[in-house]
Chain A
Amino acid sequence: MNQTYAVAAVTAVVLATVLIGALGLRISRTTSDFYVASRTVRPGLNAAAISGEYLSAASFLGIAGLVLVQGPAMLWYPVGYTAGYLVLLVLVAAPLRRSGAYTLSDFAEARLESRRARRLASLFVVGIGWLYLLPQLQGAGLTLEILTGAPDWVGGLLVALVVTGTVAAGGMRSITFVQAFQYWLKLTALLVPALFLLAAWYGDGAPRARFDAPAVLREHTVVRVADTVRIGLDAPLTVTVTGRVDAVPYEHRTVTLAPGTHHVLAGTELAFAPGSVLPERAASGTDPLGWSQPLAGGHDGHQLYATYGLILATFLGTMGLPHVAVRFYTSPHGRAARRTTLVVLGLVGAFYLLPPLYGALGRIYAPELALTGSADAAVLVLPERILGGLAGDVLGALLAGGAFAAFLSTASGLTMSVAGVLTQDVLPSRGVRHFRLATLLATAVPLGVGVVASKVPVADAVGLAFAVSASSFCPLLVLGIWWRRLTPPGAMAGLLLGGGSALAAVMATRAGLAPEGWAHTLMAWPAVWSVPLGFLTMVLVSLATPGRIPPGTPALLARLHLPEEFTGSVPSQEVRR
C-alpha cells in the first residue's frame, strides 16, 4: 500500500480533530460549557455526535473482519449495536435526561441517595470505559502497522495523545463538533470506496462469496503467519514453505501436507498456487479462535445460545456504556432526548449497511487474512487488492482516515466520561485542572495494558464491555427508573453479582481457564444468565430491605417521568411549541 497517501489521510484527520477541538476551546468559556455543552445541542447535531462517538473501531473494521472469517452469523453484531439504541430509547432516554445526571454515577447517587452506591457505580463506569478503550487503541496500532509498518504501539500512542489533548482542552462542547464531523467522515470513508469496489466486483463477473466451504484463493498468494497457528486440513495441501511447519524447518521448499492438524510457527511464509483451498485455523485449548467462534460453529445448541448471548449483551448493554449515557445530558429536555435517539437509530442503521459488504468482498478477494490473524485489516487492504493503482491507493487512504476518525471519536467520548468520573470520585479535589489530570489517567491505563495484553478481534473485545454493562447498569437503570421499591443495598448487590460475574466469566474464558464444551460457551457468553442474575438480585435484596427505600423516591420518579413543564426545568412554552 502506498504509504504517502495513507499517512497524509491519517494526518489530515488528526489535524482536523485538533483544529475543531481548538475551536471548541475558544467557545467553551464557562464550566457548564466545558462539561455539558450548556445543554443547547440541537437534535440533529447531537445525533450525529452520538453516532460519531458510537461507531468505533469495532464497527468500522471489526465487523467486516468477523464476517470475513466467520460468515453472516456475525451480522448480529451490527444488528445488536443498533437495536441497543431502541431499547435505550424506550426504557431510559427521556427519564435519564430528566434525572439531570451527567454520569451513571450521578444517576446512582440521585436515585439511591447513597454515596456508597455512587462509588460502586463509578468503579463500573471506569472499568467498562477502560475495557472499551483498550480495543480502540489496539485497533489504531494495527491500522498504523498495516499502513506504514510502524510498531503496533505507535498508533495507540498517537490516538491517546490526540484524544487526551482535545478532551483536556475543549471538554464536551468541542467533542460535540468533532464527533458530528467524524460521523459524516466515517460514513463517507466507507461509502465512497464501497461504490468503487462494488463496481469492480461487478465488472469481475460478480463472483459469490462462499461461507459454507473453505475459501479458495483466486491467485498466487503468499501468507506470512504473524502468530503461531494450528491449521486443519481435510485434503492434502501443496504449499511452498519458508519457516517451520510441525517443527520441521523449510527454506522455500514445496511440500505436500497430509490431511489432519498442522502447527505453523509464527513468522512462517506459506505460498499458495492459484485455486488452492485455504486451510482453516483449528482451535485448541490454549489458542481459542476468539469469543465469537461458537456463533458460527455448526447448527447446534451452542450456536443458538451464543447468538442469544450476543443479542442480550448488545441490546441491553448499550444503555450502560459510559460514553453513551453522558451524551443524553446534552439534550435540552426529555422530548429532545427521545427525538435525538430516533435520528441516531437512522444514522447508525445507515452506516451498518456498509461493513458487511466489506466482509463479503474480503471473503472473495482476501480470504488469507483469516489465516494471518489480521482479519480486522480487511477493510483497509481491499481497495489495493481489488482496484490497485492510484484509485486503490487513494481509496485505501480514505478508509485509513475513516478508521482513525473511528478510533479518535470513540476514544474521546470514553475518555471524557471516564475522566469525568475519575475527577468526581477518585481524585481529591474538583475543577477543570484536575479534570485534565484525570484525562491523562483515563488514557494512560488502557494504553499501558494494550501493550502487554494479547490481541483479540476488536469486535469481540468490545462485546465484552457490552456484556458487563448489560449485567450491571441495565438492571440499575431500568429498575431505578421504573420501580419504586429499589433500595441501595439491592442495587449494589445486583451490580456486584450481575456485573461482577459477567466480568469474571469472560475474563476466565480469555485466560483459557474455561473447560471445553458447554461450560466454555456459558462462560464466553454470560449475558443469558448474568443479566437475569443482576435483575433478580436487585429485586430480591431490595424486597428484603424495605426500610432502606430512599425517602426522596416518589419526588425523583415524578421528576424522571413528568414533562419538564411540570418540574420547572424548561419554560412551558418551549415544550408545548
Chain B
Amino acid sequence: MPEPHPPRRPRRETVTYASAHGDPAHGVVPGPARRPLAHAPARSEIDEQTTLGHTYVRSLMRSQLRAALTALAALALLVGSLPLLLALPAPEALVWIALGAGVYPVVWAIAHWYVRRAERNERDFTGLVER
C-alpha cells in the first residue's frame, strides 16, 4: 500500500492504533510483512492487491453499501415523508408529537440496525477470507 502522506510532512503521517498504544514501531505504517498471513491465502490476495483481492474488497463494499442504502431508504420513508403527511390538514398536536419526540427513537432504531448489520458484514467477510 502506498504511503498516503509524503514523509516530509511528519505532522500528518498515519498515526496507527498500534503506535498510539506504545508499539515500538511508532509512526510507521505497518507493511504487509507484519501481518500473520501464513495460513490465509485469500488474505494475501488482498494484501498483494491482485485481481482476486479486489474482488473480495468489492464484495465487502457492495454488502456495506446495500446496508447503508437500506438504512437511508428507511429514513426517507419514515422521516422524509413526514412533510407531505403533515401538509395534510392535521391536528397541531400530531405535528408536535411526530417532530418533537417520535422521530428520535425511529432514527436511533435505524442506526442501531445499521451498526449491527455493518459489523455482521465485516464478520462474515473475515470468516470468508480466513477460512
Chain A residues at the B interface, C-beta cutoff of 8 Å: 31-32, 35-36, 38-40, 72-73, 75-76, 79, 82-83, 85-87, 89-91, 94, 100, 102, 106, 109-110, 211-212, 299, 303-304, 307-308, 311, 315, 332-333, 335, 338-339, 341-342, 345-346, 349-350, 352-353, 356, 360, 424, 430-431, 482, 552, 554-559, 561-572, 574, 576
The minimal Cβ–Cβ distance linking A84 to chain B, given in whole angstroms, is: 10
Question: By DSSP majority rule, is chain A's interface helix, strand, loop, or mixed?
Answer: helix
Residues 96-119 of chain B: 1 if any A CB is under 8 Å from the residue's CB, otherwise 0?
A: 100111011101101110110011
> Which one of B11, B84, B104, B122 lies within 8 Å of A31 (CB-CB)?
B11
Contact across chains for B36 and A32 when beta carbons are under 8 A apart: no
Interface residues of B (CB under 8 A from A): 1-2, 4-5, 9, 11-12, 14-21, 29-32, 34-36, 43, 46-47, 49, 53-54, 57, 60-61, 64-65, 67-68, 71-72, 75, 79-80, 83-84, 87, 92, 95-96, 99-101, 103-105, 107-108, 110-112, 114-115, 118-119, 122, 125-126, 129
Residues of A within 8 A of B107 (CB): 82-83, 86, 345, 349
Q: With a CB–CB cut-off of 8 A, which chain B residues contact A564?
A: 17
Q: Complex Cα distance A335/B17, Å? A: 13
Closest to B26 in A: A32
Nearest chain B CB to A567's CB is how many angstroms away?
Answer: 7
A-B contacts, 5 of them at CB < 8 A, read A32-B19, A83-B103, A100-B4, A558-B53, A562-B46
Q: How far is the CA of A100 from the CA of B3 in the complex (A)?
A: 11
Q: Does B104 lie within 8 Å of A352, measured CB to CB?
A: yes
Q: Cα distance A90–B68 when bound, in Å?
A: 5
Contact A353 B104 (CB under 8 A): yes
The 8 Å CB contact of B96, one of A72, A102, A559, is A72
- Contact partner, A341, options B4, B47, B111, Cβ 8 Å: B111
Query: By the criterion CB–CB under 8 Å, are A554 and B49 in contact?
Result: yes
Residues of A within 8 A of B14 (CB): 100, 569
Find chain A residues with CB under 8 A from B118 CB: 94, 338
**Bound state CA distance, A558 and B32, in angstroms?**
14
Q: Which residues of A sit under 8 angstroms from B12, Cβ to Cβ?
A: 102, 106, 424
Q: Are B61 and A561 in contact, CB atoms less than 8 angstroms apart?
A: yes
User: Which residues in A have their C-beta under 8 angstroms from that of B95?
Assistant: 72-73, 75
How long is the Cα–Cα vector from A76 to B100 in the complex, in angstroms? 9
**B69 to chain A: closest CB distance in Å?**
8
**Min C-beta distance of A80 to chain B, whole Å:** 9
In-complex Cβ contact of A562 among B36, B60, B80, B103 (8 A): B60
Beta-carbon contact of A342 and B18 below 8 Å? no
**Closest 4 CB pairs between A and B?**
A349-B104, A75-B99, A568-B30, A90-B68
- Residue of chain B at shortest CB distance from A303: B87
Q: A110-B4, A570-B18 are in contact. Are A91 and B99 (CB under 8 A)?
A: no
A346 to B29, CA, bound (A): 35
Q: Flag if B16 contacts A569 (CB, 8 Å).
A: yes
Complex alpha-carbon distance, A345 and B17, angstroms = 25
B75:A568 contact, CB within 8 angstroms: no
Whole-angstrom CA separation of A571 from B20 in the bound complex: 12
List, in ascending order, chain A residues with CB within 8 A of B125's CB. Answer: 563
Among B47, B75, B99, B110, residue most surrounded by chain A Cβ atoms (within 10 Å) = B99
A353/B11 contact (C-beta < 8 A), A90-B114, A91-B68, A558-B49 known: no
Chain A residues near B67: list those with CB within 8 A: 90
Nearest Cβ in chain B — how far from A575, in angstroms? 8
Closest to B95 in A: A72
B105 cross-chain contacts in A, Cβ below 8 A: 349
Closest-by-CB residue of B relative to A310 is B83
Choose one: A94, A482, A554; the contact of B54 (CB below 8 Å). A554
Q: Is the CB of B103 within 8 A of A79?
A: yes
B34, B108, B110: which has the most chain A beta carbons within 10 Å?
B108
Q: Which residues of A contact B60 (CB under 8 A)?
A: 561-562
Residues of B within 8 A of A303 (CB): 87
Closest to A99 in B: B4
12 more A-B residue pairs beyond the given contacts A31-B11, A79-B104, A349-B108, with a C-beta to C-beta distance below 8 A = A72-B92, A72-B95, A75-B100, A79-B103, A87-B72, A110-B4, A342-B111, A353-B104, A552-B2, A558-B49, A558-B53, A561-B64
Chain A residues with CB under 8 A of B112: 342
Contact B108 A345 (CB under 8 A): yes
A555 B11 Cβ-Cβ under 8 A: no
* Residue from B16, B36, B53, B80 whose CB has the most chain A CB atoms within 10 Å: B16
How far is it, in angstroms, between the C-alpha of A66 and the C-alpha of B110 when the chains are bound? 28
Complex contact B83–A110 (CB within 8 A)? no
Residues of the B chain whose Cβ atoms lie less than 8 Å from the Cβ of A72: 92, 95-96, 99-100
The residue of chain A having its C-beta at the shortest distance from the C-beta of B64 within the complex is: A561
Q: Is the CB of A335 within 8 A of B119?
A: yes
Residues of A within 8 A of B1 (CB): 555, 558-559, 567
Q: Are B99 and A482 in contact (CB under 8 A)?
A: no
Report B-chain residues with C-beta under 8 Å of the C-beta of A353: 100-101, 104
A566 touches B17 (CB 8 A): no
A299:B87 contact, CB within 8 angstroms: yes
